[in-house]
Structure 1
Amino acid sequence: MTRILAAINRFLELFCGTLLAGMSIIVFGNVVARYVFQRAFAWSEEIALFAFVWLVFLGAVLALLRSRHLGLDILINALPVGARRYVLLLANLVTAVTLWFVVYGGYKYYLTTVPWPAPATHIPYGYINAVLPFSALLMIIVLVKQTLDLFAHK
């Protein structure tokens, strides 16, 4: 499981870095085109927006992989080690159930929006919205590993 998460981490780092670089180039190119040539690319805003959506959701997976999401550490750290494990287990279970609803609802949303093309690029909105169930599923995998790690190191 550790190898799988390491591969997911590496892929997400490369993919998010590529998305960020691509967004920067597209937005910068559009600014230059607008102010130097008085012509803007109609598709650039959509592509940058779609890349940003994917970047946010996949960045959330990376943050979870690195335990960088906000939490109330002061409360958790005040508990004894045994109780801390069970509170973290409960938190992970609640989070995983919530993420499962995101997977389910995101998949239904994906199916609903696949037929709708974006105005400038004609990319189906479903392709952009596919990041919802995809990222939530990846987060569930990360939570399973983190939950197993809670009880593996006694």
Structure 2
Amino acid sequence: MKTFERYFVALNKWALVLLLGAMAVIVFANVSLRYLTNFSITWSEEVARYLMIWMTFIGAGLALRTGGHVAVGNFQEMLGTNGQRALRILILCLLLAFFSIMIWMGLNYMDRARFQLTPATRVSFSYIYAAMPIGFGLLIVHLLLVARSFVMENRFAEVETDTPSAALAESGDTHIAANRE
């Protein structure tokens, strides 16, 4: 299961990197062309907007698994250990229900918009709306992967970083890492 999770998260991160890279290249090319040649790519703004929509839905699962979404913990902290676990189970169930409803709603939007075309690229809007059910499906997978640690310990997945400080902290030279920050 850990191997699946590692590959799943890596694939999710690379999808975000590729979407962000494509968006940056398109916007940079359009701005450069506009100022250097007085020519603008007609579809660049539209494609960049739709890439950002896809990035939002695909990246939501990665934010969820690290506890990056907004949460209010005051009520939970007032409860005892068993009450906190029960509340976290309720939250988990509500999130699963909400994500499932949003998948259904996204599929409904896709179905309704399948004959509408985007203005510049003339692509069906159903491809844009596909980000919604796919993103919420990814949210369900990410939630299920961190569910046990969330319910039992109120802990999310650790954020993996490639910074020198993190590498030093892992090697045991924590006083050096602390001084650099």
TM-score above 0.5? yes
Aligned to 1:63: 63
Is 1:97 the counterpart of 2:97 in the alignment?
Answer: yes
- Partner of 1:121, secondary structure, is coil
Aligned to 2:46: 46
Distance 2:111 2:65 in 1: 28
Q: Aligned pair count? A: 153
Shift of 1:117: 1.8
Distance 1:142 1:32 in 2: 38
2:76 counterpart letter in structure 1: I
Query: Where does 1:3-152 land on structure 2 (aligned, <5 Å)?
Result: 3-149=3-149, 150-151=151-152
Cα contact 2:106–2:129 (8 A) shared by 1: yes
1:52-97 deviation line (CA, Å, top 9, x unaligned): 0001111111101222111112332332222111101101111111
Unpaired runs of 5+ residues, structure 1, are none
1:82-125 deviation line (CA, Å, top 9, x unaligned): 21111011011111111111111100111111222212112211
What TM-score comes out, normalization by structure 1 length?
0.89
Cα contact 2:61–2:143 (8 A) shared by 1: no
Shift of 1:151: 4.8
Distance 2:145 2:22 in 1: 32
1:125 counterpart letter in structure 2: F
- Partner of 2:82, secondary structure, is helix
Bigger mean CA deviation after superposition, 4-13 or 143-152 = 143-152
1:52 counterpart letter in structure 2: M
RMSD across aligned positions (CA): 1.9
Structure with higher Rg: it is 2
Distance 1:33 1:66 in 2: 39
Q: Structure 1 residues 3, 114: closer, same or farther in 2, change over 3 A? A: farther
Distance 1:147 1:12 in 2: 18
Cα contact 1:99–1:136 (8 A) shared by 2: yes
Q: Which has the higher contact order (CA 8 A, sep 6+)?
A: 1
Distance 1:14 1:137 in 2: 17
Shift of 1:5: 3.1
1:110-141 deviation line (CA, Å, top 9, x unaligned): 11112222121122111111011111122122
Cα contact 1:19–1:51 (8 A) shared by 2: yes
Q: Indicate the percent of aligned positions where both proteins have the same amino acid.
A: 26
2:45 counterpart letter in structure 1: E
Unpaired runs of 5+ residues, structure 2, are 154-181
What TM-score comes out, normalization by structure 2 length?
0.77
- Partner of 1:98, secondary structure, is helix
